[in-house]
Chain A
Amino acid sequence: MSFTLTCPICGPRNAYEFGYGGEDKGPRPDEKDLSPGDWCDYVHMNRCIAGESKEWWIHRSGCGIWFTTSRDTTCNLEVRGKAEEKDANPPLEKE
């Protein structure tokens, strides 16, 4: 947790101040006809990319905002300025 994250309100701050909210998987799927397996995948399965991952973070010890940002998981550094351009991570591919 030695990197910094850029809070949209407070600017770059120590990662210690933030809480992790998981990968950005997009809004919840439609509940109708959802199988337990599909739901479980949405809630629990992650893509765990080695590389750029768009994620939710909260500025917990700061202003309290939830925001998305991209992080390179291979070096644990925020990919600055990319979050706005990027869509949510594509859904998981089914085996």
Chain B
Amino acid sequence: MNRIDPLETFRIQPSQKISIQYGRKSYEGVAGDTIAGLLYGNGIRVFSRSLKYHRPRGLYSLDGECSNTMMRVDGMPNVRTENTPARNGMKVTAQNVAGKTADTDPMAFMDKLGFAMPAGFYYRTLHKPAKMWPVAIKKIRKAAGLGVMDPDFRIEGYFDEIYPTADVCVVGGGPAGMTAALAAAAPGLRVILMENRPWLGGVFDYRPAAYEGDLPLYQRAAHLARKIEETPNIRVFTHTAVVGNYNDNLVTAFQRGNETDPFDERYIEIRARSIVVATGCIERPLLFENNDRPGVMQVGCAHRLARTWGLLPGRQAVFSIGDDLGLEAAADLSDLGLEIACVADTRMDGQDETLIDALSRRNIPVYRGWIAYKAHGAKQVKKVTIGPLAGVQRQDIECDLLVASAGLTPLTGLLSTRQVELLFDRHTGFFLPAGLPDGIHTAGRMLGFQDSVKIEISGQLAGMEAAADCGFNAPGEIDSIKVRINAFPGPALGSKIVSAPVKGKKTFICFDEDTTLKNIDQAMADGFDVPELIKRYTSAGTGPGQGGIPGHNLPLYVAQTQQSPDQAPRSTTVRAPLIPTLMATYAGTQHDMCKRTALHDSQVASGGKMERVGVWTRARRFAEDTKALAEIKNVRHNVGMLDASTLGKFRIHGPDALKALQRVYVSDMDKIVDGRVKYSAMCNEDGCIIDDGVVLKQGENDYYFTTSTGRAGQTVEWIRYHTRYDHWDFNIVNLTDACGVINLAGPNARKVLEKVTTADVSNEAFPFVGWRDLTLADCIPARTMRLGFVGELSYEFHVPASYTQTLWNILEAAGKELGIQNFGLEAQNGLRLEKGHLIIGSESEQRTTLHDVGLGFLWDRKPDANTVGAVALTQTEHQKDRLKLVGIKMADASAAAPKDGSAIVDTKFQGYICTARFSEALNEPIGMALVKDALAEPGTELNIYEDSCNGQLLKAIVAKMPFYDSDGSRMKM
């Protein structure tokens, strides 16, 4: 098809050719074309086959109101091709059709079977006999549907998310939205303007009708858009669908990127102080027999095809409309070369007479009170039957285009998602907001305004009111604008006609779900009288168009035809996202954010097998051996180094610091001995153990303590929460990321330490559980603690993060002649298991109390501390039938260690294995388990059910802990 001569309203570059592939053929278009537009320009009329009946469907609207033009594009199903820009080389195929294009479909016979699929047939038919349904459902799924998702399909592209800040968020880049944005930006507020189409302009964008004097609307729109662009405090997001609006003005949207954007699609979330909703109107479909035939399209669709893309939508056209925009489009399209046989207007009167005159000057007859009754033609419109709404006269007119529209329908979805009540307005026929929450304003055509100037002024008013929400109140100006608005005539009387008086068998109220008027009648005959229920029973409006086609017509039709016609139409509920959004956009970029210790790079360089542990990346082991036995052996017999920087580290100080520690720790922190650390635990209010660590007193009212890695993030919050009623004076500082920790462990650890310090670190001068502030290598301040988590002589150095790598290097050099080696988490796990030392979370779960893990001795029963968990610890101290922590060995010492988490059973569940490993020291598997107290005595035989045991229960025996060095002499040497 040839393009019409270039117009000022074009949004294409006719000289820049592109081509896409549809089916087996290649089609040429120009830059700026949409996929559907490009194909339409090449004579394609059938774009898809409908869900149930496989009826041919064509280009009907242009903003994604229905699934008619959904196609598979470059492997992605359900792309709305009518508003997706075509890109050179795209591969497009049709959906829900046996072939590659929608033109011919072997399943088209389904259209004849409509009688077998009444409203609610899913619920009513094919269920008897019961065994028929599983067969039927397979057939239905094969025959019906939209795009097919290839299970191997991986979406390409970059999906971003942004959270811009705005004082005022204006939704809708039409005339009202643009004037609202300009008015709100005038006092210097930060304004965001969002528009669904790729450009600003809205209903002005393509229309040559006069704005004022000779100035056409499209030039006015361009003028406003330029002003927007020149205003630095307005940020514009085009090609951005606003999909939700929630409490306190949270607006969610997604923006489609063009070829130069760094993203393919991005999620936008804005918390604005004030919102202006100026979303305008879409067209309300006109219903008649075969109203879904390709060649039937809405007024705006036909008009924009010509004005924006230079495509004359047909040769010979019939119009059946119910709004002045239809008259205007007919006159303009006639000037552009479309032959128009006649215009049927459902309204008897109320038309703009200048438009009627304009049509009569062009010899286009206007039939008032007439409507299209039926579209003829198998795959596309060939003939139309029109006639008066009341009367028997019928006229057949040959044509290849039927421009049909019943009127307008406001886009109020953003108000609905905000729970705003919408009431039916008898004058406009719109569902209009009954009242708006604070900080939200409406403007423009969605209120029923039609006069171009009035639309703009209403936007200006809304923008000023939004500015007032942000503290820039100009009452005098707002009042004078209100006076100006009231001087205009009120909203025009809206047509409420939904359908020509036809039987409705092939009259589609919803294209996406193939719902006919007959289906709606059936639903009402079955007793459904509320549109919301009819919507579910017939599935009208539940398709991808989200009610864009039936949303307004369904309640109107129901109100006009139901048994109690006195009831006002009741709208159905729309929900977010208002426009289908890719899951990939919601998923976002999926950065894997983790913390790295100061030693990360050297751990990796040493061959560390890194893995994610909570928020951190840590070295699991350094050798290939998954059991890390060499690392374990080296610690037991020589000396090793572990990066323990992930430990939670805190300073708490102030007059009430001790009271705060007494509140959260079960032990009496008043008894901390100078120069010694105190091991203790924290419980929750149920007495369940949540953390363990050491506390030391570093000065008057000044303490330093450690927590387990997993609790580091919550500890400050926890302590403040449990002192929230006390108004105590203390400060707590999280030093976890500020300090690195190196654990030097093994019988030769002291030999290494002695090389880097002049201080006396003998067992007498620096005994077990002692701590000293040492200066290592004459320069590094290191808080050094003698602890024994791995069960050997062991020093823990807490140093500023920036010194950690240096100290690591110094220790490594000092230990080189001894054969010092790295060890990782796996080795540490094996080592501490042999000692029976627990890791909270591994050897405990939500219900495990301090008593259950055998740490009840830590609890000091402080009388007035109100220690968190103390009440429950008192109450559960002698409770029976609890899971207790025990050591286990396998009955067969040569057996493999059971998997962590395996169940311990007899006739029922009796507990589970927490951790089990092969013990290097004992040369047999050992483990820890939580078992019912009745089975907790050493020597008791346990049956373990492991995942892959095939019913052969493993035998284990409860053993005394610790398994290794029971008197702890190796830690104290």
Contact = CB atoms under 8 A, between A and B. Distances in A.
B271 A31 contact: no
A39 B717 contact: no
A90 interface: no
Interface in B354-411: none
B871 A2 contact: no
A2 B871 CA distance: 37
A66 B716 CA distance: 11
A64 B246 CA distance: 26
Interface in A34-90: 34, 36, 39, 43, 56, 58, 60, 64-66, 75-77
Given A31-B870, A36-B875, A39-B871, A77 B720 contact: no
Interface in B679-700: 685-686
B250 A2 contact: yes
B248 A4 contact: yes
A43 B247 CA distance: 30
Contacts of A8: none
Interface in B291-312: none
Given A3-B248, A31-B870, A43 B685 contact: yes
Given A4-B271, A64-B720, A66-B717, 5 more contacts: A2-B246, A4-B248, A19-B717, A34-B871, A66-B721
A56 B875 CA distance: 27
Contacts of B871: 31, 34, 39
Interface in B865-897: 866, 870-872, 875
B339 to A, nearest CB: 53
B724 A66 contact: yes
26 contacts: A2-B247, A2-B248, A2-B250, A3-B247, A3-B248, A4-B248, A14-B250, A14-B271, A19-B717, A21-B721, A21-B724, A26-B725, A27-B725, A28-B725, A31-B866, A34-B871, A36-B875, A43-B685, A56-B724, A58-B717, A64-B716, A64-B720, A66-B720, A66-B724, A75-B247, A77-B248
Contact of B875 (A4, A21, A39, A76): A39
Interface of B: 246-248, 250, 271, 419, 685-686, 716-717, 720-721, 724-725, 866, 870-872, 875
A81 to B, nearest CB: 14
A4 B250 CA distance: 9
The 4 closest A-B pairs by CB, nearest first: A2-B246, A27-B725, A3-B247, A4-B248
Contacts of B721: 21, 56, 58, 66
A82 to B, nearest CB: 16
Interface in A2-34: 2-4, 12, 14, 19, 21, 26-28, 31, 34
Given A4-B271, A14-B271, A64-B717, A39 B872 contact: yes
A14 B686 CA distance: 32
A75 B247 CA distance: 8
A60 B248 contact: no
A39 B684 CA distance: 13
Most B CB contacts (10 A, CB to CB) among A27, A34, A66 go to A66
Contacts of B724: 21, 56, 66
Contacts of B271: 4, 14
A66 B721 CA distance: 7
Interface of A: 2-4, 12, 14, 19, 21, 26-28, 31, 34, 36, 39, 43, 56, 58, 60, 64-66, 75-77
Contact of B247 (A34, A39, A66, A76): A76
A43 B248 contact: no
Nearest to A77: B247
A30 B872 CA distance: 13
A25 B662 CA distance: 22
Nearest to B870: A31
Contacts of B720: 58, 64-66
A43 B876 CA distance: 15
A51 B716 CA distance: 31
B866 A28 contact: yes
A60 B721 CA distance: 12
Contacts of A43: 685-686
A21 B419 CA distance: 27
Nearest to A5: B248
A31 to B, nearest CB: 5
A60 B724 CA distance: 15
B29 to A, nearest CB: 42
A4 B439 CA distance: 14
Nearest to B244: A2
A25 B720 CA distance: 16
Contacts of A77: 247-248
Nearest to B872: A39
A75 to B, nearest CB: 7
Contacts of B247: 2-4, 75-77
Nearest to A35: B875
A82 B187 CA distance: 32
A43 B685 CA distance: 7
A36 B419 CA distance: 44
Contacts of B866: 28, 31
A54 B271 CA distance: 24
Contacts of B717: 19, 58, 60, 64, 66
Contacts of A65: 720
Nearest to A26: B725
A2 B685 CA distance: 30
A4 B721 CA distance: 21
Nearest to A3: B247
A74 to B, nearest CB: 11
A89 B601 CA distance: 53
Contacts of A39: 871-872, 875
Contacts of A36: 875
Most B CB contacts (10 A, CB to CB) among A2, A58, A60, A76 go to A2
A31 B866 CA distance: 8
Nearest to A34: B871
A3 B724 CA distance: 24
A60 to B, nearest CB: 7
B857 to A, nearest CB: 21
B462 to A, nearest CB: 22
Contacts of B250: 2-3, 14
Nearest to B250: A2
B773 to A, nearest CB: 28
A4 B249 CA distance: 9
A17 B800 CA distance: 29
